[in-house]
Homo-oligomer: A and B are copies of this chain.
Amino acid sequence: MREDVRMKIAILLFDKFTALDAIGPYEVLSRIPGAELAFVAKQPGPKRSDTGMLEVTADRPLADFPDPDIVLVGGGEGNRPLLFDDEVLDWLRAAHETSIWTTSVCTGSLVLGAAGILDGKRATTHWAYRERLRDFGAEPATERFVVDGKVVTAAGVSAGIDMALHLTALATDPRVAEAIQLGIEYDPEPPFDSGSPEKAAPELVDLVRTLERGQAAEPQRAT
């Protein structure tokens, strides 16, 4: 068991982030023995979530946490300006050069795509955005998370927890991941069978897709 691994993990924050995209994987990855996990942002400081009801601090500027082993970009309407932000995209490309895994949750994959990281890769994202992946040369997949070489992309929001447990097993040992899963008592019992568009009623899928599109259509503001 590689318990001596010192794993550096960077999670990118930005205003209007979806909290669980970032915090789900944080809760798993921060428990890897020896993990050093930092929330980083172009401009460190307080970041409000997409609902406006939660504030999380980005502790470090991008340049202050070099050569992370795992890079994670989450979703949320606030990541759309990042698709055109050279400073963030350059940081992401540089991090990808030396990372062990470059990862995303939900629409964080669009940012990886804008950085050129998904070109020719199989990848996933929030189900309502799957076709957008083609804009970046990626082949959309419907799995809970997709491992293509060192690029690991998760589906929407809660999928980051499953991805992070899988990454933990790869980064250390399956036993460590099993222990973390037990520690966070991750034995899910979703009350409904509506968690994916393949399972939910079609009219529910249409409703949620419309709500998501409303979000996606918001004007893109500079960060």
- A residues with a Cβ closer than 8 A to B are 18-20, 23-24, 26-27, 30-31, 36-39, 46, 51, 53-57, 59, 106, 126-127, 144, 155-159, 161-162, 165-166, 169, 174-175, 177-179, 181-192, 194-197, 199-201, 204-205, 207-208, 211-212
A191 to B186 Cα, complex, angstroms: 10
Partner of A20, one of B23, B37, B53: B23
B208:A194 contact, CB within 8 angstroms: no
A56:B56 contact, CB within 8 angstroms: yes
List, in ascending order, chain B residues with CB within 8 A of A158's CB.
27, 161, 184-188
A24:B30 contact, CB within 8 angstroms: no
B185:A195 contact, CB within 8 angstroms: yes
A118 to B85 Cα, complex, angstroms: 51
